[in-house]
Each structure stands twice: as structure tokens, then as C-alpha cells.
A and B are shown apart, each in its own frame.
Chain A
């Protein structure tokens, strides 16, 4: 169910997000191989990645606040290359996996079979989706996050501690990325360099669905996953990853707003 992973990634347009997914998988692998039980290893990976996300914000993004967009992009690209480089040295360049949570015996559903791990992925995606929805609509702090994302100065003026909110958002998005990595690694395997193609796919899914629209992101992710599977089946599995780029081009040509997006306007 790699398509569901797209959902985790979509909406987040940051390069480093793909690296968080990679870190989630890689840290779990090495904690598990060091002898820790799998749930504990996964927890360490998620918390560790959240800390890395916060550090990234504090050390690299906050100091450059107010810089032109190009500079900020280069910083995040730099950060994600840096994370790759460190991972490659701290861990290694091999492809890894750890055992699926509930074994590898496929479950027969009607005529089709499904891996138990896929059910974990679906459950995880739903839990995150519902959790985020509750967080953003039902809690004061969730609304504060939305307000800060919308207009930082205005949020500050109404008494929101925007610095804390930024830290929280980075911790959350890193943790969610890591969770995605933990859930899918038994199926998709992981290595230090998967982050970039994940960023590309997540972005393609978000574009297909329409930027900034969670429902669109979910549908876009599913569609992209199906497209990838069809490319692999009918054309060549070597070009599976090309589907994402072709989708980006097609969306840009045919419907720049995506499937569910609204027309965007610029504020001067």
C-alpha cells in the first residue's frame, strides 16, 4: 500500500519531509537490530526524528527567517542532503527492513490477498488523518497552529506563542513522517537515499489532488499509487518512479488547480 504513504507525505511541501520518513525507517531498523523490541525501537525512531525536526527548525530555519524564498529552499535542500549524508555515515548504504508487525502471511479477502502490514498502514493513515482533523478543529493549540501558518504576525498579536507553535509543528510533521517510515518499511524497505523520491511522489500526489486540500491529497495519493502500479505493470517497472514527474507535468498542463484545488491568488 505505498499509495497510502503518499497521504502521509502530501500537504507537506518541505524537502526534509522525505528524509523524516527515511529516518523513521532507518532508526527503527538499527534500534531493532541492536536488540530492542520492535515497538520500543519504533518509538525511539519517532521521538528521535521529532527531535531532529525541532533541531532543524531551531538551527537552520529560524536563523534565516525573513530571507528570500530561494535561500530558504536552498537551506532545506541542504538540510535534507546533510541528513542523507549523516545517515549514510552513522548507519550504512545498504537496503534494510525489519519484520512486519503481525507476520508476513497474506490474508485472503475474497479473491484478493492483502499483507497484514498493509492493514497497519491503512490504520495508521486513518489514525493520523482523524487525529490531525480533531487537533486542528477541536483544540485551541491546533487552531493556534493554523493561525500561525496563515499569518505569523497576526497570530503573535493575538497572544499566540508563535515560536513554540513553530517548534510544535516541526516536531509533529517530523514525527508523522517517521511514523509513515516505520509503518511502510516492512513492505517498501528503506535505505539512506529514499527521501528524495518520496518528496517527489508526495509533491506529485498533493499537486494531483490540489494543493492544501487534505481530501484532495488522499485521492491524489491513491491515484498516483495506482498510476505507478500500472506503469510498472504495463510499461516497465524501471520507469515506475517516472509516473510522479509525468503526473506533475500533466497536472500543470491540463488543470493547474489539481482535482480539488481552488484558484490561487497572490497577495501583493
Chain B
């Protein structure tokens, strides 16, 4: 039964992604859609960290920054293909997450939040200050990976926004598939066990520190890939991608939709990506609104939007 619910979830996601363009009145909507997928991917990683393992990070934008700048810098300095640069960024993020995560995951609660925040601050500081390499606060251009051209060569001709919509959507479905698989794997069970009680998890022989680190590294790779995707489709990148507010946005998206549910969190990403597009005042009130959403969701719907609604529906159906 469980397996089928996973398949249904993934199929549902894929179908929504594939069908949505039918209702798009203009190419702008493809752009918003691919932004949703990029954010959704980062948020899926945070579901593993926050929802499965019960750890918090306010520094994941730092990993998005590493992924993004890998795509910008590696082609220039190492002569790497931008797509390979994204892989390099993901590997680098994983290694850095492993190095940083090992000490800071000893911390709990607020302390972990603050320490991870420090990491994010450090990354954005380096990106903004090393202007000779990164272009500083003005950002830098990113080479086109030429994937669209490759598709054209085999007869599939997509516009730029259409291509990135499809490609980010595909990556998101793969990311969601991996995250859902992880949920029911022994690793996923171990993560959920230590979320419930670290002491109890340790008592049944779970390597608590090791699994926390695993969740941290996996979520960092997700964030990095999402940063790379953003850089490649924008063809331009600024240190804002690694900024504190981006970390906050990610966490807010995750808890809004439901940190324990991949689809819920993607829904959260969709809501908070679309809102600024339809509410022009959102920009000005962004911090106020994000803060309010975080507080209200945690007070009134602790599991997030989707799980809370699902529970209500189930209760109503009985």
C-alpha cells in the first residue's frame, strides 16, 4: 500500500508539472514554474533535514551559493562544462557539509540554528568580498550549458523558458523520488527515530551523529543543485543566493507546506514563490510576512499546511 502511495505522489507531481503549461497564458509562467521547481528542490532537501531528522539549518543558502558559483566560476577558471560544474558544486557542497556538519551537529536546537547561520553568513561574506574572483555584490555571468542546443539537434525545439521549466521539473521529480525512497529506507527510519528521541534511537543502536550528518550532507547537495539550476537558467548570479534571507525563505517554505511531507513542502515552495509575483507589495513586507507565516504555522498548524488539511479531510470523511 505504502509503495503505491509513493508512486501516486510522484505520478501526481509529474502530471501536474506536465499539464500545467496547457493553462499558461504567457511564457512568463514557465519562468515562475521553473523557479518553483528550483525552490522545491532545495526545500525537498530540507524536508530530509528538518522533517525526517528534526534538525534545523539557517545556513542552507550557503550551499545554494556554492552550487551557483561553481557553475559560474568553474567554466571560467577550470574550463569545465557548466553542467559538469554543477556536479562539481554538488560534490564540493557535500564535502563542506560533511566538514562543517561534523562539529556543528553536536549542537542542538537554537545552538545548531545559530551555528548553521554562521556558516551561511561566512559563505555570503566570501562571495561578496572576494570581488576579484566572484565579481562581488554585482554578481557575475554564467555560461549557457548548451543543453537546449543539444535537444534541438535531436529535433526537440524548446524556447529557453520552456526548456528550463521542463528540465527543472524533471530534476525536481527525481529529487522528490529519491527523498520519498529515503523515507522508507533504513536510513529514513533511523532519521525519524532520532527525530523522535535521540536517547531512544541511540539505545537501539542507531549511530545518531552519523545519521544526522548524512541528512545534513544530503540536504546540502539538494540545496547546491538547486543553486546551480538557478544560476544556469538565470545566466547570472549574485551573492544574494547565499544570503541569510534565502535561508529563511527555504525554511519558511518547508514548514509552511509541511516539513514532514515532500509534496507539502513543494506546495509551500509554490505558494511562497507565487505570492511575490502576484502581490507586488510582498517585496516591501517580505520579512514581516515570512516571520508571520513561520509563527502562525508553528502555533496553529504544527505539521504544516498539507498534512493539516489532509488530516481534516480524513476526519471529515469518516
Name A residues whose Cβ lies closer than 8 Å to a Cβ of B: 13-15, 60, 63-64, 67-86, 88-89, 196-197, 199-200, 203-204, 207, 236, 238-239, 241-242, 244-245, 248-249, 252-253, 256, 266, 268
Contact assessment for B292 and A78 in the assembled complex, using a CB-CB cutoff below 8 Å: yes
Contact assessment for B288 and A86 in the assembled complex, using a CB-CB cutoff below 8 Å: yes
Determine how close the nearest CB of chain B comes to the CB of A45; give it in whole angstroms.
21
Contact assessment for A197 and B288 in the assembled complex, using a CB-CB cutoff below 8 Å: no
Contact assessment for B110 and A13 in the assembled complex, using a CB-CB cutoff below 8 Å: yes
Residues of chain A contacted by B109 (CB below 8 angstroms): 69-70, 72-73
Contact assessment for A70 and B54 in the assembled complex, using a CB-CB cutoff below 8 Å: yes
Contact assessment for A78 and B294 in the assembled complex, using a CB-CB cutoff below 8 Å: yes
Contact assessment for B293 and A78 in the assembled complex, using a CB-CB cutoff below 8 Å: yes
Residues of chain B contacted by A68 (CB below 8 angstroms): 54, 302
State A238–B115 Cα separation when bound (angstroms).
Answer: 20
Closest to A251 in B: B103
Contact assessment for A82 and B107 in the assembled complex, using a CB-CB cutoff below 8 Å: no
Contact assessment for B125 and A238 in the assembled complex, using a CB-CB cutoff below 8 Å: yes
State A84–B286 Cα separation when bound (angstroms).
Answer: 10
CB of B298 within 8 A of chain A?
yes
Q: A73-B113, A245-B118 are in contact. Are A239 and B287 (CB under 8 A)?
A: no
Contact assessment for B117 and A75 in the assembled complex, using a CB-CB cutoff below 8 Å: no
State A197–B122 Cα separation when bound (angstroms).
Answer: 11
State A238–B117 Cα separation when bound (angstroms).
Answer: 18
Residues of chain B contacted by A244 (CB below 8 angstroms): 118
CB of B291 within 8 A of chain A?
yes
State A68–B198 Cα separation when bound (angstroms).
Answer: 13
Q: A199-B114, A249-B100, A266-B199 are in contact. Are A64 and B298 (CB under 8 A)?
A: yes
CB of B178 within 8 A of chain A?
no
Contact assessment for B287 and A88 in the assembled complex, using a CB-CB cutoff below 8 Å: yes
Indicate the member of A70, A82, A200, A253 with the most B CB atoms within 10 Å.
A70
Contact assessment for B291 and A79 in the assembled complex, using a CB-CB cutoff below 8 Å: yes
Indicate the member of A67, A77, A85 with the most B CB atoms within 10 Å.
A77
Contact assessment for A196 and B118 in the assembled complex, using a CB-CB cutoff below 8 Å: no
Q: A70-B50, A71-B298, A249-B103 are in contact. Are A82 and B251 (CB under 8 A)?
A: no
Name B residues whose Cβ lies closer than 8 Å to a Cβ of A: 50, 54-56, 58, 100, 103-104, 106-111, 113-115, 117-119, 121-122, 125, 129, 199, 244, 248, 251-252, 255, 259, 284-295, 298-299, 302
State A78–B290 Cα separation when bound (angstroms).
Answer: 7
State A77–B249 Cα separation when bound (angstroms).
Answer: 12
A sample of 20 inter-chain contacts (CB < 8 A) reads A13-B110, A15-B110, A15-B114, A64-B298, A70-B54, A72-B109, A73-B56, A75-B298, A80-B291, A81-B287, A81-B294, A86-B288, A88-B287, A236-B129, A244-B118, A245-B119, A249-B103, A249-B104, A253-B103, A268-B199
State A14–B298 Cα separation when bound (angstroms).
Answer: 17
State A79–B298 Cα separation when bound (angstroms).
Answer: 11
Contact assessment for A15 and B113 in the assembled complex, using a CB-CB cutoff below 8 Å: yes
Choose one: A70, A76, A236, A242; the contact of B122 (CB below 8 Å): A242
Choose one: B55, B199, B298; the contact of A67 (CB below 8 Å): B298
What 8 A-B pairs have minimum CB-CB distances, sorted nearest first? A78-B294, A82-B291, A85-B288, A85-B287, A245-B118, A81-B291, A252-B103, A78-B295
Q: A70-B50, A73-B110, A77-B248 are in contact. Are A83 and B291 (CB under 8 A)?
A: yes
Q: A71-B302, A196-B244, A245-B121 are in contact. Are A77 and B292 (CB under 8 A)?
A: no
Contact assessment for B122 and A245 in the assembled complex, using a CB-CB cutoff below 8 Å: yes
Contact assessment for A85 and B285 in the assembled complex, using a CB-CB cutoff below 8 Å: yes
Q: A89-B288, A196-B117, A248-B114 are in contact. List 6 more A-B contacts (CB 8 A).
A: A60-B295, A74-B298, A77-B248, A85-B291, A200-B117, A200-B118
Choose one: B111, B285, B294; the contact of A77 (CB below 8 Å): B294
Determine how close the nearest CB of chain A comes to the CB of B126; give it in whole angstroms.
8
Closest to B105 in A: A252
Determine how close the nearest CB of chain A comes to the CB of B103; give it in whole angstroms.
4
State A247–B75 Cα separation when bound (angstroms).
Answer: 34
Contact assessment for B106 and A77 in the assembled complex, using a CB-CB cutoff below 8 Å: no
